[in-house]
Amino acid sequence: MRNPLRTTLAALAAAVPALALAGAAVPEPPAAAPTALRVVPVDLSLVPPLSLNGEGRVENHLSIGVVARSTVLRGLALAPVHLADEDVSGAQVTWAAASAGGVVRGVQLATVTTVARDLRGLQASQIVNVVRGGGEGVQLGGAANVARRLDGLQAAAVNVAGGVRGVQLAVVNVGGEVSGTQLGLVNVARRVRGAQVGLVNLAEEAEGSVGVLALVRNGRHEVELYATELTPLAAGVRLGGRRAYGVLGAGVQPDPQERSGKTLSALGGGAGVGFEPAQRLALDLDLVAQAVSLDGTPEAVLGVLRAVAAYRLTEWMGVLAGPTANVLVSDEDQPDLHLGWKLGGRHARVWVGFVAGVRI
């Protein structure tokens, strides 16, 4: 008796060559080659085709008009609106809009918008610049810059790029893959090989992220409870990238000061860099500025340089300790803050202190 499954498989195997032949694509006739460019050195245009270019594919060296259009521009365009169907080598200087369907090797300037498929140079406008493909150069926009990929600088109120190698400078920066720096109030990226510096930073992965709120999925988000020679009760957080991060901290001296009877407190933040030489060991160097208050009134500014070693005891907890170098400056003499040595003739003091505590 024949095996039905084997018979079916054999039939399918026999049918495969026939299916392949039946489904083979019929070669299409080659596409017609584009017509040759006709050189029109100077174009004067009202609205295409009411221009010296007329119809067909043309190359212009100088294009002037109200709305001017060139297939290829190798030179200068001066118009409220200039449209290049293909490449631009030179400059498009417009009042409203400049557009190129190919590569711009040079400059696009406009009041409203500039658009290019690829950029090798500069785009500048008061509203928005767009690179639909890849760019090497600079985008300067009043409102926004948009690029699929850019090697260089983006500067505007809002920058958006799928990939950046260079610098994004804006109120809001959005980048997919960033190799370089995002500098703004809000920075968003998927992966950062470099640094984010801003008020709020968001990333899935970042080498460095320094901000008041720096949330990196694969970065540092640690809480610390510690003591110093000035504030025996203190707490802080480290948020940001694995190598560079932001620091926030606050502390208090619960006992009233001997001279004034006031309560001392400190509040501030800063930034740090760190690395892990061993699996459970982390070494961090932090620079922090704090406002020192007595009964809630700021009286001095404290700068602290901390060298901290942290050893992870368990997956979620470790211990930390290290020396600190401190500089305290005030407008007038503060008897409650007579630590260390007086610095010069000013109301400033320096001393060496410590930090010790736990990290969660």
Contact 244, 209 (CB under 8 A): yes
Interval 232-264: pLDDT, tens: 999 999 999 989 999 999 999 988 888 788 899
Residue 7, class by beta-carbon neighbours within 10 Å (0-12 exposed, 13-18 middle, 19+ buried)? exposed
Residue 8: per-residue pLDDT? 35
* pLDDT value of residue 31: 54
Whether the pLDDT of residue 96 is over 50: the answer is: yes
Residue-level pLDDT at 346? 67
CATH T-level assignment (fold) for domain 219-359 = Porin (2.40.160)
Question: pTM for this one?
Answer: 0.78
pLDDT in tens, 106-165: 999 999 999 999 999 999 999 999 999 999 999 999 999 999 999 999 999 999 999 999
- Least Cα distance to 100 among 125, 122, 118, 126 occurs for 118
Pairing of strands 264-275, 281-294: antiparallel
* pLDDT given at position 347: 83
| CA distances in angstroms from 301 to 33, 74, 222, 337, 349, listed in the order given | 73, 60, 25, 11, 11
Give the CA distances from residue 323 to residues 137, 305, 355, in Å, rounded to whole numbers and listed in that order: 46, 9, 6
| Share above pLDDT 70 across residues of the chain, in percent, rounded to a whole number | 90
Amino acid at 136: E
Q: What is the pLDDT of residue 315?
A: 87
Contacts of 159 (CB under 8 A, 6+ apart): 139, 144, 145, 168, 169, 170, 172, 173, 174, 175, 184
Beta-strand (E) ranges in 276-342?
281-294, 297-312, 318-330, 341-342
Q: What is the pLDDT of residues 166-178, one digit of tens each?
A: 999 999 999 999 9
pLDDT at 319: 97
Query: Cβ contacts of residue 24 below 8 Å, gap of 6+?
Result: none
DSSP class of residue 48 equals T
Instruction: Name the band, by pLDDT with cuts 50, 70 and 90, for residue 331.
Output: confident
Between the CA atoms of 240, 284, 306 and 300, what dihedral angle is there, to the nearest 10 degrees? 0
pLDDT tens sequence across 4-37: 434 433 433 343 333 233 333 445 555 555 678 8
Domain extents in the chain: 219-359
More confident residue, 118 or 294: 118
**pLDDT single digits (tens) 209-231:** 999 999 999 899 999 999 999 99
Q: Write down the pLDDT at residue 29.
A: 53
Percent of the chain, pLDDT > 90? 76
* Spatial separation of the C-alpha atoms in residues 327 and 133, rounded to whole Å: 52
